[in-house]
Amino acid sequence: MLKTPGAKAGRGVAWVLLVVAVVVTAFPFYWMVRTSLTPSADLFSDAGSLWPHHPTLINFARVLGLTSAQRDRAAGGSGAHINFLWYTLNSIIYSGVIAIAQTFFCAMAGYAFARLRFPGRDALFGVFVAALMVPPIFTLLPNFALVKDLSLLNTFAGLVAPSVLMTPFAVFFLRQFFLSIPRDVEEAAILDGANRWSQFWRIVIPMSRGPLITIGLTTTVWAWKDFLWPLLVGRAENTRVLTVALGIFLQQSPNTQPDWTGLMAGSTLSVLPVLILLIFLGKRLVQSLNFTGIK
């Protein structure tokens, strides 16, 4: 490419813009960590400084349930017992179970819609696709009533029930992918006497690792961020996930001043697993977006 001075200046400006984007993206996280390391008594005096003057880990100790109610109150909390480690574990179970089970069951269904021949297949698939248009809130209200009727409120079973077996999107997405796999391979397997299940399990699944991971990761992220459903169905301590815990933590703040330092410590803990995921799976995750975007 030709490098004129103008183009060079242009590239310089472009780089500056990218750096700005990175700063705008990252700064709020820095500020979150910075606040979580500040004693709550310093909030007013320290509001504008980039570094806490009296750094402390008390806020983390508080949200991990390692202090007494008295110390918690003294440090700006409400004295309620909280344990973000437990909620993180719940979040991991919630998103893990949903992601793994849903991907698996949707792969089965997607395969059936792509490959198997049975009466009513296309009509059924059409109904599944139509369900893509229904906003979640519409089914959320009756699903809440259903889970309540089944006495599954505040259980993991009730929490994962609506999404553990399928979502129309995952079925749709995986079916589209399976359609794109050449049939020759499977046909060779049929000649070898493999049945449908072993074709699916031995051949199609291993060939589809990319899209399966994509759907799995997307579902994990979605479940990790989920708030309204677990708020309604799993508020109790034993099933409380991170997002709900943060919401409840906010609600249980002292009346006159939200426990901002504690909240930021809790927020930091809710971001940490995501960062770990990104460090180990960053490349995969970034690449997986290419699939979902194109569908």
Partner 1 sequence: MTAVIGRTPGSAAKTGRGDPPAKARAGMRDDRRWAPLFIAPALIGFAIFYVYPTVRGVWFSLTDYSLLGAPDYTGASNYRQLAHDPQFWNSLKVTAYYVVVNIVSQTVIALGLAALMHRLTRSVVLRATLLVPWLVPNVTVGLLWAWLLDANLGFVNHLLHSLGLGGLSFYSPTWAMPSVALVNTWAYTGYTALLFYAGMLQIPQHLYESAAVDGAGEVRMFRRITLPLLRPILALVLVVSLIGSFQIFDTVAVIYPHSPIPATRVIYYYIYQQAFSYFHMGYASAIAMVLVVVLGLLTFVQLRLLRASRSDLA
Partner 2 sequence: MRHHGRLAAGALLAVALAGSMTACGNDSGDAGGKVTLNYWLWDDNQTASYQECADAFHTANPNITVKITQTAWAQYWQNLTTQIASGDAPDVWTDHVSYYPQFVTSNQILDIQPYVQRDKVDLSQFQAGLADLFVKDGKRYGLPKDWDTMALVYNTTLLSAQGVTAADLTDLTWNPTDGGTLQQVIAKATVDANGHNGLDPAFDKNHVKVYGFLPEFADGSQGQNGWGDLAESAGFTFLDKNPWGTHYKYDDPKLADTINWYKQLIAKGYSPKFDKQSTLGRPAVMDAGQGAITFAGSWEINSYLSATAKQKYAFAPLPTGPTGRKTSINGLSDAIYAGTKHKEQAWDWVKFLGSAACQDLVAKNAVVFPAIAEATDKALAAHQAKGQDVQVFTDEAKASGGTFFLPVTDHGNEISQTVQDAIQSIVLGQSDAASGLKKANNTVNAMFQ
Decide if residue 75 touches partner 1 (CB under 8 A): no
For residue 114, the minimal CB distance to partner 1 (Å) is 8
Report the 10 Å Cβ neighbour count for 207. 16
188 binds, among partner 2, partner 1, none (CB under 5 to 8 A by kind): none
Residues of this chain, 220-239, that bind partner 1 according to CB under 8 A: 221, 224-225, 227-228, 232
Q: Give residues in contact with partner 2 (CB under 8 A).
A: 44, 69, 73, 78-80, 93, 96-97, 100-101, 104, 148, 152-158, 160, 206, 231-232, 235-236, 238-239, 251-258, 260
Residues of this chain, 170-199, that bind partner 1 according to CB under 8 A: 171, 176-177, 179-183, 187, 190, 195-197
239 binds, among partner 2, partner 1, none (CB under 5 to 8 A by kind): partner 2
Query: Is the separation of the CB atoms in 173 and 208 below 8 Å?
Result: no
Q: State the SS3 of the chain.
A: CCCCHHHHHHHHHHHHHHHHHHHHHHHHHHHHHHHHCCCHHHCCCCCCCCCCCCCCCHHHHHHCCCCCHHHHHHCCCCCCCCCHHHHHHHHHHHHHHHHHHHHHHHHHHHHHHHHCCCCCHHHHHHHHHHHHHCCHHHHHHHHHHHHHHCCCCCCHHHHHHHHHCCCHHHHHHHHHHHHCCCCHHHHHHHHCCCCHHHHHHHHHHHHCHHHHHHHHHHHHHHHHHCCHHHHHHCCCHHHCCHHHHHHHHHHCCCCCCCCHHHHHHHHHHHHHHHHHHHHHHHHHHHHHHHHHHHC
Among 41, 57, 134, 236, binds partner 1 (CB under 8 A): 134
Decide if residue 51 touches partner 1 (CB under 8 A): no
For residue 234, the minimal CB distance to partner 1 (Å) is 14
For residue 258, the minimal CB distance to partner 2 (Å) is 5
Mention every residue, 6+ apart, whose C-beta is less than 8 A from residue 47. Answer: none
For residue 86, the minimal CB distance to partner 1 (Å) is 17
156 binds, among partner 1, partner 2, none (CB under 5 to 8 A by kind): partner 2
133 binds, among partner 1, partner 2, none (CB under 5 to 8 A by kind): partner 1
Give the torsion through C-alpha atoms of 10, 15, 18, 22, to 10 deg. Answer: -160
Residues of this chain, 110-129, that bind partner 1 according to CB under 8 A: 111-112, 116-119, 121, 124, 127-128
Give CA–CA dist 117/16, Å, rounded: 56
Q: Which is nearer to partner 1, 67 or 128 (CB)?
A: 128
293 binds, among partner 1, partner 2, none (CB under 5 to 8 A by kind): partner 1
287 binds, among partner 2, partner 1, none (CB under 5 to 8 A by kind): partner 1
Q: Contact region for partner 1 (CB under 8 A) — 53-61, 62-70, 71-79, 100-108?
A: 100-108
Q: Which is nearer to partner 1, 25 or 70 (CB)?
A: 25
Q: Which is nearer to partner 2, 12 or 254 (CB)?
A: 254
Decide if residue 294 touches partner 1 (CB under 8 A): yes
